[in-house]
Structure 1
């Protein structure tokens, strides 16, 4: 089979790495890819949001399956364009992708499905939002309704902090049009877990769980990021909790989406809070998490390509997945300054030394290769150093040994990934 993966980050490197091992694969492309992806796939200079060019390439090259990595092309209608062109695509339709494209839509669907979640309210006027915050008190959560690259959520410890977030999102428009509407939500207390399920419109198959580290600094301090590390499986997420999430959140939402005439096919990413009252939904995403995908892919023993095809073809009821029981852990190395302004073009050395550490895979996120062959940073989150080992502590030790083997003075990472479990 010929496969085109869309995207160019750490998630897409992990997907390409897993797909490259499939006995069904005959050719693998990635658009636009990165320096690490180029080692397992042929990179194509097409942007992930250039739907017309992606469709033209897929048709010209007789691609059998298009795999969407990030959310943006899905919310722009990549799966619909593929269907119109007679191409198979792993990922939801534009209508179903609203589960990530609009947080208010997610809340409406979840409420209709009676899925447990936070109390919430929606606002299009900043002053009304501020009045609601003052009435509710803090801590409280302020969310931009639309896509904001994982940075549109503020967990405000005080009313003043919440009001400042409302001003930034709705009046200063730091996230552009995504901030035209905000959601104000109850601040749930507990441990956050990322749970993934493969969906074919009717059936959902559990795809594993991970715990992400959103804040930039050790001890969960500093601003939110796209994710500074992850580990899988999180000890807090028991088999009983998994079954409860499937029964109370994933399957009812899948049924509600089908009832609305917008069946969900692809990977459903449920951001959960494990509270004293059980698991509650924080948000949905419509793609693999980043960096959770890296931690999951090194544990997946089944053929990923077969699994994605089963989801596309409505055959998940007759499919099963095998997992490595060993835990895995990903440490994200980012450019200094991230999630604020950061420099591009700094050289990264020692990647071969890092990859030589037993149990380690080095996934590239924001990298490119210079004309002289050197790998240089080309983004905020740049590398995902991923390790698998017999224990979580051993995986963490291996990951940080690999981090320390890398010579990149302009990069940094958190040194406490998996601190809740360890």
Structure 2
């Protein structure tokens, strides 16, 4: 079959890599793709941008299934539009995508269906938010309501810090509209975990757990990024934690999806905080995480295309996902200066020396040279029998590759 895969990041390269292993897949059109998908087996990059161009291409090329990588097209309603035109597409409806597209919608959904989450308040006026902050216990968490590329969350230690964040979000509008409405949330002290899952609207099957490392610097210091590395499975997600997650988060979420008729067939990502007082839900994502995907898919034994069609056919209740009894470690190499200002256009060298899996994100081929085009440039993932071996092997590889101003965290998997 012919697949249209929307997106251009490391997540999309990992999805394309996994799909290419399926004997059910003949061709993968990556829109727009990147330097990784350009070289990947069965893949062809196509220069498309926007829902209308994706739709036109799918119709004209008899695409059998469209898979949406990033959140923005889902929030914009690509799934509804494709279905209206009789096309198969994997992802949640526009209404369901609000679980990621609006933090306020998501928190209200959690509250309504008894999903265990932090206390919160929603604000659309700066003065009311500032007044609330004067009475808060610190630290406190401030979230932009809309999409902010994984960067719209600030942990504020003091009132003055929180006041500045509110001003940046609501007045300076650093997220171009996404922070005009904010959520102020109780701070939870614990260990984060990410659990990607797949749903057909009636069943949710969780994937293997993983641990993302979002801040730019070692020791989880500095501003949040889209993610600087991941390990899987998450060592903190023991049987007790996973059982509590299922009871207080997964089951009530599924109940809400069904009762609200959200038309949700796709990926649902649970961002968790494991605390002394239990497991809490921090956020939903309505697509695969990046770089979680690069760590999780290499551990999946199943045919990804087959799994997706089981969801589309609403047959997940009888489906079982098998996982390698191994560990993975994924480390991101980024452009120096990311997530703030950074330069691009630098050639990436020595990639042929990499022994593990290489997933390209912000890089493309120009005159047969792979050059940097984005903040997060590439990911290296190793799969080994122990976590220690996986971490060691990934770092041995990342030292082999090189580009000007290359930066990566040296402590992925240490915390």
TM-score by length of 2: 0.98
- Correspondences of 1:204-353 after superposition (within 5 Å): 204-353=204-353
SS in 1 for 2:266: strand
Between the aligned partners of 2:403 and 2:330, the Cα distance in structure 1 is 18
Q: 1:416 aligned to 2:411?
A: yes
Whether contact under 8 Å (1:109, 1:257) holds in the other structure is no
| Cα offset, 1:247, TM superposition | 2.5
RMSD over equivalenced CA pairs, Å:
0.9
Whether contact under 8 Å (1:144, 1:179) holds in the other structure is yes
Between the aligned partners of 2:63 and 2:108, the Cα distance in structure 1 is 36
Match of 1:377 in 2: 372
| Number of residue pairs aligned between Structure 1 and Structure 2 | 413
- Cα deviation, 1:144-179, whole Å, max 9, x if unaligned, reads 000000010001111111111101000100001111
SS in 2 for 1:399: helix
Between the aligned partners of 1:397 and 1:58, the Cα distance in structure 2 is 43
Between the aligned partners of 2:274 and 2:171, the Cα distance in structure 1 is 33
Name whichever of 242-251 and 397-406 sits farther off: 242-251
Whether contact under 8 Å (1:5, 1:68) holds in the other structure is yes
Q: 1:363 aligned to 2:331?
A: no
**Matching residue within 385, 397, 402 for 2:392:** 397
| Cα offset, 1:396, TM superposition | 0.8
- Cα deviation, 1:340-373, whole Å, max 9, x if unaligned, reads 011111111011102xx2xx101000011012x1
- Correspondences of 1:90-109 after superposition (within 5 Å): 90-109=90-109
Between the aligned partners of 1:308 and 1:133, the Cα distance in structure 2 is 44
Between the aligned partners of 2:137 and 2:164, the Cα distance in structure 1 is 14
Between the aligned partners of 2:378 and 2:397, the Cα distance in structure 1 is 11
Whether contact under 8 Å (1:202, 1:263) holds in the other structure is no
- 4+ runs deviating over 4 angstroms: none
- Cα deviation, 1:386-413, whole Å, max 9, x if unaligned, reads 1111111111111111111012132110
SS in 1 for 2:92: coil
Which structure 1 segments of 5+ residues have no match? Answer: none
Match of 1:162 in 2: 162
**Matching residue within 33, 44, 47 for 2:46:** 44
SS in 2 for 1:208: coil
